[in-house]
Structure 1
């Protein structure tokens, strides 16, 4: 017989953990996607890149990071491999000479067109796991979470900038207070309100007289 105790509490912690539950749901979604896309179809991330580039030709890799939510290093590797496969094309950006614009190649467009109905089938299977009355709210919640995730880096930078500014202002305030204090002391001395104290002069004690010898 299994006793309820710490092991039970640990299990409850998992069922109440957003990170754990989202990981499980993500794994389920990726499994369903892989089944529908098939071995010859693009991965979920490849599909996201193809769809994003199709909607806005000429995006830079920085733009694609924002559009797909894929981290910068992973995206750079992904775009390189997809370009090597002939799915994407890269050229100098018309807006930024230092950046490379990404466009959909003919092969990439063909892969995207073939993948769209499979991805839609995967999405239908995933949404079928939810009660109809909660599906719309579920999508709205996911969109809100994704939006907050996209905004998190900018918010972190803004918070760090605000903290640096506050620290700088605090240092300025301390220096200003110290300067004002020194100025007040100097003014007080000049007005004779504060007199410099002289160090006490030590007076050497006279040596004791030795008693005269008796005759």
Structure 2
């Protein structure tokens, strides 16, 4: 059987680098989830991120954009652009915060509330289809793990003591022909005294 381009080192199948990479696998799952969401919402529906913003605003009436960043996980500059576009479409409105004159709060407009209500069953169907990819016994644990990961603070995790971090396995040292590992040569006692 001929090796494919991705199978040069014989590791393209089970157990290869990409199959053991959390970042790669999460990216693949995200792409799959977004494709399913797009199929369910249709060409004229809101995107998954727009739905997340509408839902977060509905659940946190008068939320600031900083609060929306925390609630959705969307980076600040992307969120600012999204909110501006959603205001232009008439889905959101911005007001000065009563608590902090420097901050703006965001509220749903009646049109935004209608779009959210129209989108809820489509988002629920997409979520059902995504979870259906797993065995029923694994679905709740999967959601719990995703929730833990989504709620984690990357910068706090980086500051943890090194002993708690998961280390990548080290490659074995080269071995002699007889199977024994190389050892550092011991200095002769006479050579130590001379030094």
- Listed one character per residue, the Cα deviations across residues 34-57 of structure 1 (whole Å, up to 9, x for unaligned) are 000111111000000000000111
The verdict on how the C-alpha distance between 1:81 and 1:3 changes in structure 2, with shifts beyond 3 A counting, is closer
Q: How does 1:1-215 map to 2 (within 5 A)?
A: 1-2=1-2, 7-9=9-11, 12-148=16-152, 151-153=153-155, 155=156, 159=159
In structure 2, how many angstroms separate the alpha carbons of the residues matched to 1:138 and 1:71? Answer: 24
**Larger radius of gyration between Structure 1 and Structure 2:** 1
Gaps of 5+ in 1: 160-215
* Runs of 4 or more above 3 Å deviation: 3-6
In structure 2, how many angstroms separate the alpha carbons of the residues matched to 1:3 and 1:117? Answer: 45
CA positional deviation for 1:98 = 0.4
Secondary structure class of the residue paired with 1:7: coil
In structure 1, how many angstroms separate the alpha carbons of the residues matched to 2:157 and 2:3? Answer: 45
Secondary structure class of the residue paired with 1:9: coil
In structure 2, how many angstroms separate the alpha carbons of the residues matched to 1:10 and 1:119? Answer: 34
User: What is the root-mean-square deviation in Å for CA atoms of aligned residues?
Assistant: 1.8
Secondary structure class of the residue paired with 2:17: helix
Task: Tell me the equivalent position of 2:175.
Answer: none
In structure 2, how many angstroms separate the alpha carbons of the residues matched to 1:3 and 1:129? Answer: 30
Secondary structure class of the residue paired with 1:78: helix
CA positional deviation for 1:7 = 2.5
- Listed one character per residue, the Cα deviations across residues 141-167 of structure 1 (whole Å, up to 9, x for unaligned) are 00010011xx224x279x5xxxxxxxx
Secondary structure class of the residue paired with 2:114: helix
Secondary structure class of the residue paired with 2:10: helix
Tell me the matched-pair count: 155
Secondary structure class of the residue paired with 2:111: helix
Gaps of 5+ in 2: 160-195
Structure with a larger share of its residues in helix: 1
